[in-house]
Structure 1
Amino acid sequence: MINFNNVSKHFAGKAAVSDLSLNIAKGEFTVLIGTSGSGKSTTLKMINRLIEHDEGTIQFAGEEIRSFNPQVLRRRMGYAIQSIGLFPHWTVEKNIATVPALLNWPKGKISARIGELLALLNLDERFRHRYPHQLSGGQQQRVGVARALAADPEVLLMDEPFGALDPVTRGALQQEIVRIHQLLGRTIVLVTHDIDEALALADRLVLMDGGQVIQQGTPYEMLTRPKNDFVRDFFGRSELGVRLLALGNAGAAARRGEWIEEEAIPESMTLREALSQFIARQTDRLAVLDAQQKPLGVLHFADLLRQRGN
């Protein structure tokens, strides 16, 4: 879907991105991660030409991005950022409709699309006529994502979209994005500096430093087969175990055919979260419910030692 071929970008004579080659597959959830100044946000913004690259080529759907009118290109790519950028004097409905209106969609089609997106992002229909200042930070961010998805883009670009939110709201929105990705199958490229967020969201992680790709792979590959000491230190040598547990879930690890009469955990709970439950409850077994709230099995503390991620 997106191909970088020997791409470089300089600011004031200094390379922000240097000789970057990267392929992002259609339908893949790719997360760019790295330290501040690693070039990850610059890389993202070059995809929709918010920043123009100096050298090399960038292809979108097989065509060089400079062959597109920038506005046409951006309408094919949704864009969500940390500051959200909602128009304060426009209602939620009008904010979401921004791109479809520019594309001259019929009013009925726009209204129906807004309804679909409100439902998709778990926002009540009554939010249509509210203004951004009447919403919580999490609700504003959901509207920002809805606006980015409004014209059914082929690619969704996200730059630190949840960075300003509290941990509970952030976790809920992360789960929503994973669900939306599974439902819609869109190509998503997200930038974050949060390691746990990257591990939770990515199909493929791209670790950058100094404007270059240091290593890329699945979260499990990055944690268990680091290319060098930089990668190993970045993901935290001392936290490797709990981060690996975050890649698995209780449903996959639970022993079928067993049950105990105790407060159960959902199958979607990560094994890292389950570890906290084991410690808090001072037990070595946890009952696990499936998505329909029916008994699925029992998770044993000893089984955590045998997990290898998803």
Structure 2
Amino acid sequence: MIELQHVSKSFEGLKVIDDLSLEIAQGEFTVILGSSGSGKSTLLKMMNRLVEHDSGRILFAGDEIRSLQPEALRRRMGYAIQSVGLFPHWSVEKNIATVPALLKWPKAQIDARVTELMTLLQLPPERYRKRFAHQLSGGQQQRVGVARALAGNPEVLLMDEPFGALDPVTRAALQLEIARIHQVFGKTIVLVTHDIEEALSLATRIVLLDKGRIVQSGTPLQMLSAPANDFVRDFFGRSDVGIKLLGLQQVASRIRPATGLELTDGEPIPATLSLRQALSIFLSRRVDRLAVVDAEGLRMGSLALQDLLPVSSRPDQQTTRP
């Protein structure tokens, strides 16, 4: 889908991207992660020619991006940023319809698309369609920004720190929405962040940058369990890797079949919950076993506190020496 071949970029003699090669597959949720100044935003902006690369090649769907008109390229790539950038004198529906209007879609098709996206992003159309940006909360403005980026049905969605200015609750809600959009539509998404937890929860692949170079690329599990070097190990944190790993696995992966004899306490938990969330419930309830149910609320089995330990550390997996 997007391929960068030995790409470099400098500003005033300072190399920001250094001989970088990367391939982003169709349908992948790639998160570009790194500290401030690592080149994350520059890398993203080169993909849609908001910043022109100095050397190397960038291909989009097989075409060198410099062979495409910038405006035509950007209409094929939705772009959402932290500052949102809504047109203040336009209504919500007109903001969302920006790209479809430029593409000269029929009015009925535009109206239907606006309704679809507002519903998808939990902005009831009958309530928010005619409102203006100043009448919306920060989280609502960000949802409109995401809807606008998706409105023209782009092949790729580029997102540059889209949730950085939001409060934790709104941020978490929007992260869930983006994950749901990726799951429902299989959209290729490239997201830039410095937030490790955000990267681990959203990405199918993480690309970790330092000084304009890729230090390591892989799935969240690979980045945590097989760091390439000390920089990666330190970046993700040595002391709480176990907790982060629990966040990557669901309760469903550790369920014990129901026997009818085990004792559980309190409301059952869904099998789709992460093991990290289950650990929080264990600690808050002060219990050592929880009942687990499926999406329909039917009992599947149970989860024991000791099941959250690595296999070699579990009491039932240890053997005694003669």
Query: Could you state the TM-score of these two structures normalised by the residue count of structure 2?
Result: 0.93
Shift of 1:263: 1.3
Q: 1:132 to 1:255 in 2, by over 3 A?
A: farther
CA distance in structure 1 between the aligned counterparts of 2:6 and 2:195, rounded to whole angstroms: 27
For residues 220-299 of structure 1, what are the structure 2 equivalents within 5 Å? 220-257=221-258, 260=264, 262-299=266-303
Say which one has the larger Rg. Answer: 2
- Show CA shifts across 1:161-210 (max 9, x none): 11111111111111111111011111100000000100000000000000
- Show CA shifts across 1:140-170 (max 9, x none): 1111111000000000000011111111111
Shift of 1:85: 1.0
Contact 1:7 1:20 in 2 (8 A): yes
Q: Which residue of 2 aligns with 1:304?
A: 308
Contact 1:258 1:298 in 2 (8 A): no
Tell me whether 1:170 sits opposite 2:174 in the alignment.
no
Specify the SS of the correspondent of 1:72: helix
CA distance in structure 2 between the aligned counterparts of 1:72 and 1:246, rounded to whole angstroms: 40
Q: Which residue of 1 aligns with 2:144?
A: 143
Aligned residues: 308
Matched AA of 1:79: Y
For residues 1-310 of structure 1, what are the structure 2 equivalents within 5 Å? 1-125=1-125, 126-257=127-258, 260=264, 262-306=266-310
Q: Which residue of 1 aligns with 2:315?
A: none
Matched AA of 1:70: P
Shift of 1:256: 3.3
Matched AA of 2:23: N
Q: Which consecutive unaligned segments of at least 5 residues does structure 1 have? A: none
* % identical aligned pairs: 64
Shift of 1:258: 5.2
CA distance in structure 1 between the aligned counterparts of 2:132 and 2:301, rounded to whole angstroms: 46
- Show CA shifts across 1:71-95 (max 9, x none): 0000000001111111112111001
Shift of 1:267: 2.6
Shift of 1:252: 3.0
Which stretches of structure 1, 4 residues or more, deviate above 4 A after TM superposition? none
Shift of 1:261: 5.7
CA distance in structure 2 between the aligned counterparts of 1:110 and 1:49, rounded to whole angstroms: 27
Matched AA of 1:42: T
Specify the SS of the correspondent of 1:35: coil
Q: Which consecutive unaligned segments of at least 5 residues does structure 2 have? A: 312-322
Specify the SS of the correspondent of 1:5: strand
CA distance in structure 1 between the aligned counterparts of 2:133 and 2:210, rounded to whole angstroms: 36
CA distance in structure 1 between the aligned counterparts of 2:256 and 2:79, rounded to whole angstroms: 42
Specify the SS of the correspondent of 2:209: strand
- Show CA shifts across 1:80-112 (max 9, x none): 111111111211100100000011111100000
Contact 2:256 2:303 in 1 (8 A): yes
Q: 1:290 to 1:101 in 2, by over 3 A?
A: same
Shift of 1:302: 1.0
Matched AA of 2:48: N
Specify the SS of the correspondent of 2:256: coil
- Show CA shifts across 1:6-26 (max 9, x none): 000000000010000000001
Matched AA of 1:40: K
CA distance in structure 2 between the aligned counterparts of 1:107 and 1:176, rounded to whole angstroms: 27
Matched AA of 1:197: E
Root mean square deviation, CA, Å: 1.5
Shift of 1:297: 2.5
CA distance in structure 2 between the aligned counterparts of 1:38 and 1:242, rounded to whole angstroms: 26
Moved more, 180-189 or 82-91: 82-91
Matched AA of 1:233: D
Moved more, 22-31 or 166-175: 166-175
